[in-house]
Amino acid sequence: MTTEARAPGRPPGLTGEDLLAVARDVFLERGYGGASMEEVARRARISKASLYREQPSKSALYEAVVRHWASAGRNAMRPALERLLAADDLRQGLADLAETMRFGILSEPVLAMRRLVTAEAVTQPEVARMYLEESWNANIRNLAEALQTVAARHGLQMDEADAAAADFTWLVIGAPLNARLLAGDVDASPVDRAVDLFLAGYRRRRAAR
């Protein structure tokens, strides 16, 4: 069979979430300004008129794309956090988590989405704020919860779990994220340094202020 079966009168092109996936690819490849509604329509095999009936404007399409992406990534770390909670060796568990975080956050599509949303934060701040809250802070809070559990089990001093989750995250991905965003470099530094520094800082109560 060379043609798909389809009901008469049904649209042959993409709509709904399939359309959002196509639009996402165009935005990630070209940036907001470089993306044209015509290319989105062409790749989705629909007319521009049909595209505008699905989304009333380019900015509305952009917001829908980011919202769908953020929703999908909201609990991206959950499996890795389950593995951390199940790990006997805390240090090894944190190192595995760190590797997973690097692999995910430094992947090309995630980097491209960060570039896109950051660049458009000036003109569409509410979209950037939604992305930060739904996609990033939600994951930080999940991480904080898991860290609090393993801290209690392994006798770590962790009064402010959210801050500790941020510390861990930025020790692990700060430098390579910066390098990849700006230069595409693949960072080769082992995660063990970050994990050791984190553990050293939280193993004993830090000096009072």
Partner DNA sequence: CCTACCGATCGGTAGG
- Which residues of the shown chain bind DNA in the complex (CB under 7 A)? 9-13, 15, 35-39, 45-50, 52-53, 56-59
**Cβ(171)–Cβ(182) under 8 Å?**
no
Which one of DNA, its own copies, none interacts with residue 48, CB within 5 to 8 A by kind?
A: DNA
- Interacting residues with its own copies (CB under 8 A): 31-34, 91, 112, 115-119, 121-123, 125, 128-129, 131-133, 136, 160, 163, 166-167, 169-171, 174-175, 178-179, 181-184, 189, 192-194, 196-202, 204, 206-207, 209
Among the listed residues 136, 146, 165, the one whose alpha carbon sits nearest the alpha carbon of residue 74: 136
Q: Nearer to its own copies by C-beta: 14 or 27?
A: 27
How far, in Å, are 86, 164, 201, 206 from residue 170 at the CA level? Answer: 23, 10, 14, 19
In terms of residues, how long is the chain? 209
Q: How far is the CB of 173 from its own copies (least distance, A)?
A: 8
Alpha-carbon distance 70 to 177, whole Å? 19
Instruction: Answer with the entry of its own copies, DNA, none that 102 interacts with (C-beta below 5 to 8 A by kind).
Output: none
Contacts of 16 (CB under 8 A, 6+ apart): 54
**Rounded-to-integer distance, Cα 208 and Cα 91, Å:** 26
Q: Which does 45 bind (CB under 5 to 8 A by kind): DNA, its own copies, none?
A: DNA
125 binds, among its own copies, DNA, none (CB under 5 to 8 A by kind): its own copies
For tokens 């700006």, the residue is 182
> DSSP state, 185?
P
Measured from the CB atom, the residue of 21 and 199 that comes closer to its own copies is 199
CB of 2 to its own copies, least distance (A): 37
